[in-house]
């Protein structure tokens, strides 16, 4: 397995627990929007701890970008990435990933599962081919939404947000379930892209198949 040592050029928080990393791009390194790689932190303690993350930059940019949810509740890689900033080094590996654009459809994301879709949307938007795609984006609260402004700007009325929890009196929790999909999807004969936790992907794809979506039209991580 090839290893690429890259320097972090810039890092900043985009929500209370999601951090963006701009890193060097190795010469000749390329990916399809939606794909990612195994990443580790290049220190003696952490370099063997690899975790998968998705590229969110455009493939033609001269740097790579990752948007990473930091879990501060235990001493894992993302907790350490929360304390890792410009000047430090990461180790990248080969590119992999099954999520890529196959044609117009509905993108359904939970939390940090938005990252492969950010990459795909940025690419389509630049090529003026985004119109006709729709995003349904579920988060716990409005504070957890990643890249809200940019998603709204790119997708306009084809951007729908749902919150499962909200610290507001009178808030009605809305989950993506079978009834939600029946009420909000007009055509089940199109592509459906689903990304989030494994439970999220399992339940949403279960509803979609039940509603007539064929496995060929479903785009999910293997």
Contact residues for ligand FAD, defined by CB under 6 A = 36, 51-54, 66-69, 71, 73-74, 76-79, 97, 112, 115, 221
Based on CB atoms, which residue is closest to ligand FAD, 198 or 216? 198
Measured between alpha carbons, how far is 157 from 218 in angstroms, rounded to an integer? 23
Two structure tokens written together for 154? 């790119």
Q: How far is the CB of 122 from ligand FAD (least distance, A)?
A: 14
Cα torsion angle, 156, 62, 55, 59, sign: positive
Q: How far is the CB of 62 from ligand FAD (least distance, A)?
A: 20
Two structure tokens written together for 134? 């729709």
Residue number closest to ligand FAD, CB atom: 76
Token look-up 């809305």 returns: 174
Q: How far is the CB of 166 from ligand FAD (least distance, A)?
A: 21
DSSP secondary structure code for residue 166 in this structure? -
Q: What 3-state DSSP class applies to 18?
A: strand
Two structure tokens written together for 150? 């940019």
Two structure tokens written together for 110? 């939970």
Measured between alpha carbons, how far is 142 from 162 in angstroms, rounded to an integer? 9
Q: How far is the CB of 5 from ligand FAD (least distance, A)?
A: 20
Based on CB atoms, which residue is closest to ligand FAD, 11 or 115? 115
Measured between alpha carbons, how far is 42 from 92 in angstroms, rounded to an integer? 10
Based on CB atoms, which residue is closest to ligand FAD, 109 or 181? 109
Q: How far is the CB of 182 from ligand FAD (least distance, A)?
A: 29
Q: Biggest alpha carbon distance in the chain? A: 53
Based on CB atoms, which residue is closest to ligand FAD, 123 or 221? 221
Based on CB atoms, which residue is closest to ligand FAD, 52 or 132? 52
């Amino acid at each position: 397995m090839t290893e690429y040592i890259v320097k972090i050029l810039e890092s900043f928080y985009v929500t209370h627990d999601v951090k963006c990393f701009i890193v060097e791009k190795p010469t000749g390194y390329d990916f399809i929007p939606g794909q990612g790689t195994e990443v580790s932190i290049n220190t003696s303690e952490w370099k063997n701890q690899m975790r998968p993350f998705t590229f969110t930059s455009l493939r033609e940019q001269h740097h790579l970008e990752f948007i990473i949810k930091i879990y501060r509740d235990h001493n894992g890689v993302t907790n350490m990435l929360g304390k890792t900033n410009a000047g430090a080094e990461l180790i990248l590996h080969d590119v992999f990933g099954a999520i890529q654009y196959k044609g117009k459809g509905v993108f359904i994301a939970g939390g940090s599962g938005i990252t492969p879709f950010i990459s795909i949307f940025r690419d389509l938007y630049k090529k003026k081919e985004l119109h006709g795609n729709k995003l349904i984006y579920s988060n716990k609260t409005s504070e957890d939404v990643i890249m809200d402004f940019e998603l709204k700007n790119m997708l306009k009325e084809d951007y729908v947000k749902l919150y499962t929890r909200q610290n507001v009196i009178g808030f009605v929790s809305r989950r993506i379930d079978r009834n939600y999909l029946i009420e909000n999807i007009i055509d089940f004969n199109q592509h459906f892209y689903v990304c989030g936790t494994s439970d999220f992907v399992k339940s949403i794809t279960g509803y979609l198949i039940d509603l007539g979506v064929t496995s060929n039209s479903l785009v999910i991580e293997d």
